[in-house]
Amino acid sequence: MTSLRTPVPADLESQADLTAEIKQLQAETRPGDAQPRLDWPPYRSSLLRHPTKTLRYADPEGAELVAPVFGQTDIGELESDLTVQPGGEPIGERIKVTGRVLDGDGRPVRGQLVEIWQANASGRYIHQRDQHPAPIDPNFTGVGRCLTDDDGWYSFTSIKPGPYPWRNHRNAWRPAHIHFSLFGTEFTQRLITQMYFPGDQLFALDPILQSITDQRARDRLVATCEHELSEHEWLLGYRWDIVLTGTHATYLEPGDE
Amino acid sequence: MSELGVTPGQTIGPFFHYAMPMPDDRVLVPLDSPGSVRLHGHVYDGGGNVVPDAMLEIRQCDASGVVPRVEGSLRRDGSSFTGWGRSGTDSEGHYWFSTVEPGPTHPGAAPFFAVTVFARGLLDRLFTRIYLPADPEVLAADPLLATLDAELRRRMIAVRDDDGSLRFDLHLQGDQESVFLAYPRHVG
């Protein structure tokens, strides 16, 4: 099976050098930043793809104050269970991932669309561009959708995704993750992010997760394994809550009160 | 007001194409239907290269200036106007939407498409607006455009193609870098 392995390009930076670069940049960044740094050289693909100018403040108006509306007509009944496939059960650890979507003031986001996509148990996406020589699972596509309920809860049944290699640097591995796409009640709250699994030794090596330079903010992307959510002889349960930015509809400028 | 810890964003990555696009997600109104317009353009990086793995979403008013609160953007019924669409870029970095031109939300307002941008290599989403090419006085009176110099203002306004389409190129970086926005509640 050695034919599946590609030779290691000699010019790629080592993980040790990249990790040192990450640590140095994080030391130079002010603590408390909740968002990833867009200008973040350790993630090589970002070099030419981040704006260099300061973002301009805009007072949201019109369409910006209203999120798109989704409903039952937008999703299929079985789309929240990624293990239900016509050909049979996928391979891997069966899991449930559930939590609440809240806005920045703690209010549940009701009836809103949550979309996810992920690699299979061996770390392979069903995507033309994924050349990782790990097996494709014919019974797993790794795409899910659901609507939050009246208390903001979402829930997916899936398979725990595997970590996978990429070409950012030599011997680079992404920690296992699930991509999440979220909407709030305003267009300004749009969020796409990644959920990680607790205890992954790859966290410190990953330039994408480490682009969030504040440890507490990074921790918000890591689910917790909760025994109460696990189901007897069936699956392991993970809890992950999502907090979007605040809405503007009732927002008072500091000092207005 | 105390803020909860906001969940950070992460890049959309390289593998969203099999998950996020839906049939007709970019077709807010049927192609070439009466009143329809094609909004399109290319996404470029700081080296002037096209970005073939970006995704744009737009949110907009209808032609009368009302923001629709109508479901059905992912599975369209072909007649409801939902005011939301999603378009990935193709191998040439090109995106397009079939939609209507948004009307002013109040008399004298400069109509725009609200836009979110995602891409592999972009660690968090970006927001911008695409203004309709309108009366210069209307554009000059817009609260956001009024704060920009003429060059930056130009970069936020779509160009009318000869065939009536609206063209808007997006530059993530570089000499022509687009104007990207933050909103007041984005600061924790």
Condensed to tens digits (0 to 9), the pLDDT of residues A60-110 reads: 999 999 999 999 999 998 999 999 988 899 999 999 999 999 999 999 999
Q: Is the pLDDT of residue A130 over 90?
A: no
Integer Cα distance of B76 and B73 in angstroms: 6
Q: Is the pLDDT of residue B20 over 90?
A: yes
DSSP reduced 3-state for A190: coil
| Domains of chain B, each with CATH number or no CATH | 16-70+77-178 (2.60.130.10)
The predicted pLDDT at position A254 comes to 52
Q: Decide if A56 contacts B143 (C-beta within 8 A).
A: no
Q: What percent of chain B has pLDDT over 70?
A: 98
Mean pLDDT in residue range A178-202: 98
Check if A136 contacts B (Cβ < 8 Å): no
The predicted pLDDT at position A9 comes to 74
Check if A57 contacts B (Cβ < 8 Å): yes
Mean pLDDT in residue range A195-199: 98
Task: Mark yes or no for CB contact B8/A188 under 8 Å.
Answer: no
The predicted pLDDT at position A132 comes to 87
Does the predicted TM-score (pTM) go above 0.90? yes
Q: Decide if A183 contacts A189 (C-beta within 8 A).
A: yes
Position A15, amino acid: Q
pLDDT tens digits for range B100-140 = 999 999 999 999 999 999 999 999 999 999 999 989 999 99
Q: Where are the domains of chain A?
A: 73-243
Task: Mark yes or no for CB contact B173/A48 under 8 Å.
Answer: yes
Token output for B102: 């948004």
Check if A217 contacts B (Cβ < 8 Å): yes
ipTM value, please give it.
Answer: 0.96
- Which of A238-247, B3-12, B53-62 has the weakest average pLDDT? B3-12
- Confidence bin at A256 (pLDDT 50/70/90): very low
Position B57, amino acid: E
Token output for A34: 């909740």
Integer Cα distance of B110 and B91 in angstroms: 33
Tell me how far CA of residue B39 lies from CA of A83, B11, B97, B135, in angstroms: 38, 25, 5, 19
Strands B166-167 and B159-160 come out as: antiparallel
The predicted pLDDT at position A2 comes to 53
The predicted pLDDT at position A135 comes to 92
Integer Cα distance of B87 and A163 in angstroms: 28
The predicted pLDDT at position A11 comes to 83
Token output for B25: 């997600």
Nearest to A15 by CA among A237, A239, A205, A238: A205
- Confidence bin at A204 (pLDDT 50/70/90): very high
Provide the chain A residues 12-31 that lie in CB contact (below 8 A) with chain B: none
Fold of A73-243: Protocatechuate 3,4-Dioxygenase, subunit A (2.60.130)
The predicted pLDDT at position A3 comes to 66
Integer Cα distance of A153 and B1 in angstroms: 24
Provide the chain B residues 79-98 that lie in CB contact (below 8 A) with chain A: 82-84
Mean pLDDT in residue range B19-27: 95
Alpha-carbon Rg for chain A, nearest whole angstrom, is 20
- Confidence bin at B2 (pLDDT 50/70/90): very low
Alpha-carbon gap: A237 to the closest alpha carbon of chain B (Å): 20
Q: Which residues of B touch A191 (CB under 8 A)?
A: 7, 9, 125
